[in-house]
Amino acid sequence: MADDTKTLKTTPLDALHREYGAKMVPFAGYSMPVQYKAGVLQEHLHTRSQAGLFDVSHMGQARLLGSKAAEAMETLVPGDIVGLGAGNMRYTLLTNDAGGILDDLMVTHCGDSLYIVVNAACKDADFAHMRAKLTDAKLEIIEDHALLALQGPKAAEVLARYAPAVRHMVFLTGQAVRINDIPCFITRSGYTGEDGYEISIPNKDADAFARLLLSEHEVMPIGLGARDSLRLEAGLCLYGNDIDTTTTPIEAALNWTIGKRRRAEGGFPGADVILGQIKDGTARKRVGLMPEGRAPARAGTEIQDMDGAAAGIVTSGGFGPTVDGPIAMGYLRTELAVPGTRVNLMVRGKAQPAEVVKPPFVKQNYVKD
Amino acid sequence: MTVKYTKDHEWIRLDGDVATIGITNYAQEQLGDVVFVEVPEAGARFDAGAEAAVVESVKAASEVYAPLTGEIVEGNQALADDPSLVNSDPEGAGWFFKMKPDDLSQMDDMLDDVAYRTLLVDLD
């Protein structure tokens, strides 16, 4: 263990995590807090009722520069990037030629550039892929900024004490904001299903600002454990679990990320496969699952139909603290992927009945206007 | 009354010929918030080392092993209604099951209180 930790990278908040009693674990090559003293359950519930501060500095941040950056980006993703207005942000997917998903990412139109946030585990591959394919645009990887997420119903009130302008932002927009004279880039977005912000802040200022936020009585530090249970309740995919190179956007029920123009024009990797699936359907679909008992069904759990035939697999599953019960996501044969259908989750060899539902499992509280 | 421990962080309390089994305070701290427990039914038989119960936190599932060979006398049904007893009172109300061991000498090789606490020091 001691040798492993030596090779792990740390974020600018490493000392803060340890001071706050975090249990540190290796994650995507970084030493990251999985939970603090309060524990996953309290951290989860606190984020839904007050505000939680997450260190997501391990994620990849970059800017794509050039007058044709949006057009270039569209050659790699099925999302509408050219049509994204200045200051607006969009969830999209890097796809491969087979229609599989290389990563999911957020893209914000910043006027003179696109600001991109990708998953930590994929960032090196994503950026290499973008550099290799995007010869008309320049990719600048942002190494000197940390990324903090402040999430929850009190996030706006708390952050507005330092940056009054953030109150007026709506969900999925971004803007440059000065906080105590520090230039930051803030988006109203997150990965919890709650209202909140992600704050890109210079590495050297991140620790002090995180401490300021934590000094606010509404704010508690939140680890990766609660980040996972919050996103699962919100019905959001985890790359590597729910989506990967073997799943297409259509199988993953992410059709909504592909707008009308992109469907008509294509021009992204795997477009033939993906557009064909929009038209003809797929053999399997991602769904939400509500187990009827109390036993959580974890990723990898086999799903059977009520006749005992193979029906699919759970890709994310656990206990939802706000739901106060087990919840899961997984892939099912398309004819079973209908809300209300009953299936069996094979937990430790025993059939546990579950109902197919449409995620999210909790009400999303985004500020849309 | 004898209390012994295993390297898997279980405790075994012997009362007459019935052993009560649970997980230690260290184990519940490592698990975090317990949200689901499955205990064995009375009458079930297990060999020492076999998986006899399951304990799940928000994060992950873990197995609880039968530390002794024998027959289950009772599973703690209170854990089904309130799994958090494992966190709040791991070595009391949060017990998992009671069993009648076939051979009490299996307890001889287990850790006593001092040996278990020494093990914990080494883990830190």
Q: Which of residues 82-111 of B touch A (CB under 8 A)?
A: none
Whether the predicted pLDDT of A4 surpasses 60? no
Chain B hits for A39, CB-CB cut-off 8 Å, are 32-33
Residues linked to residue A32 through DSSP beta bridges, in sequence order: A25
Burial annotation A250-281 (CB, 10 A radius, 16+ → b, else e) = bbbbbeebbeeebbeeeebbbbebbbebeeee
Chain segment A204-233, per-residue pLDDT in tens:
999 999 999 999 999 999 999 999 999 999
The sheet with strand B51-57 has its strands ordered as B34-38, B51-57, B61-65
Distance (Å, whole) CA A201 – CA A218: 21
Q: Percent of chain A scored above 90 by pLDDT?
A: 96
Contact with chain A for residue B56, Cβ under 8 A: yes
Interface residues on A facing B, Cβ-Cβ cutoff 8 A: 34-35, 39-42, 44, 225-226, 229, 294-296, 298, 318-319, 321, 326, 348
Q: Percent of chain A scored above 70 by pLDDT?
A: 98
Whether residue A296 and residue B35 make contact (CB cut-off 8 A), yes or no, is yes
Provide mean pLDDT across the span B27-31: 93
Q: Angle formed by the axes of helices A224-233 and A40-49, to 10°?
A: 60
Residue of B nearest to A297 (CA): B61
Q: What's the pLDDT band for B123 if we cut at 50, 70, 90?
A: confident
Distance (Å, whole) CA A158 – CA A171: 17
First to last CA, chain A: 48
Quick one: DSSP state of residue A91? E
Contact with chain A for residue B61, Cβ under 8 A: yes
- Are residues B41 and B71 in contact, defined by beta-carbon separation less than 8 angstroms? no
- Beta-carbon contacts below 8 Å between A and B: 41
How far, rounded to the nearest angstrom, does the alpha carbon of residue B68 sit from its chain's CA centroid? 11
Chain B hits for A225, CB-CB cut-off 8 Å, are 32, 58-59
Residue of A nearest to B83 (CA): A294
The whole-number pLDDT of residue B82 equals: 95
Contact with chain A for residue B57, Cβ under 8 A: yes
Nearest to B36 among A35, A39, A319 (CB): A319
Distance (Å, whole) CA B67 – CA B9: 10
Angle in degrees, CA A367, A198, A242, rounded to 5: 85
Q: Where are the alpha helices (DSSP H) in chain A?
A: 2-7, 14-19, 40-49, 69-74, 123-133, 155-160, 203-215, 224-233, 260-265, 271-280
Nearest to B54 among A34, A40, A348 (CB): A348
Provide mean pLDDT across the span A36-52: 97
Residues linked to residue A187 through DSSP beta bridges, in sequence order: A174, A198
Nearest to A296 among B32, B33, B56 (CB): B56
Positive or negative, the Cα torsion across A160, A166, A170, A174?
negative
- Are residues A222 and A152 in contact, defined by beta-carbon separation less than 8 angstroms? no
Residue of B nearest to A2 (CA): B124
Chain segment A112-129, per-residue pLDDT in tens:
999 999 999 999 999 999
What pTM, to 2 d.p., does this model score? 0.94
Contact with chain A for residue B50, Cβ under 8 A: no
Residue of A nearest to B58 (CA): A319
Contact with chain A for residue B80, Cβ under 8 A: yes
- Collapsing DSSP to helix, strand or coil, A53 comes out as strand
Distance (Å, whole) CA B53 – CA B55: 7
Provide mean pLDDT across the span B106-120: 93
Whether the predicted pLDDT of B89 surpasses 60? yes
Average pLDDT, chain A: 96
A114 burial type by CB count under 10 A (0-12 exposed, 13-18 middle, 19+ buried): buried
CA-CA-CA-CA dihedral for A253, A292, A301, A39, to nearest 10: 90
Polymer length of chain A = 369
Distance (Å, whole) CA B98 – CA B107: 15
Residue for token pair 């020492």? B48
Choose the mutation target among B33, B81, B123 for the interface with A, i.e. most A CBs under 10 Å.
B33
Average pLDDT, chain B: 94
Query: Is the preceding omega at residue A360 within 30 degrees of 0, hence cis?
Result: yes
The whole-number pLDDT of residue B2 equals: 86
Distance from B24 to chain A by nearest Cα, in Å?
Answer: 18
Chain segment A249-272, per-residue pLDDT in tens:
999 999 999 999 999 999 999 999
Q: How far is CA A345 from CA A309, A311, B54, B60, in A?
A: 12, 10, 16, 17
Contact with chain A for residue B33, Cβ under 8 A: yes
Provide mean pLDDT across the span A239-251: 98
The whole-number pLDDT of residue A6 equals: 63
Whether the predicted pLDDT of A1 surpasses 70? no
Chain A hits for B122, CB-CB cut-off 8 Å, are none
Provide mean pLDDT across the span A312-340: 97
Chain A hits for B32, CB-CB cut-off 8 Å, are 35, 39-41, 225
Whether residue B59 and residue A225 make contact (CB cut-off 8 A), yes or no, is yes
Distance (Å, whole) CA A101 – CA A78: 11
Which stretches of A45-144 are assigned E, i.e. beta strand? Answer: 51-55, 60-65, 89-95, 101-109, 113-118, 138-141
Choose the mutation target among A24, A40, A345, A346 for the interface with B, i.e. most B CBs under 10 Å.
A40
Distance (Å, whole) CA A224 – CA A121: 14
Contact with chain A for residue B78, Cβ under 8 A: no
ipTM: 0.87
Residue of B nearest to A228 (CA): B59
* CB-based contacts of A153, cutoff 8 Å, min separation 6: A48, A49, A50, A51, A194, A195, A365
Positive or negative, the Cα torsion across A71, A253, A273, A94?
positive
Distance from B38 to chain A by nearest Cα, in Å?
Answer: 8
Whether residue B58 and residue A295 make contact (CB cut-off 8 A), yes or no, is no
Whether the predicted pLDDT of A193 surpasses 60? yes
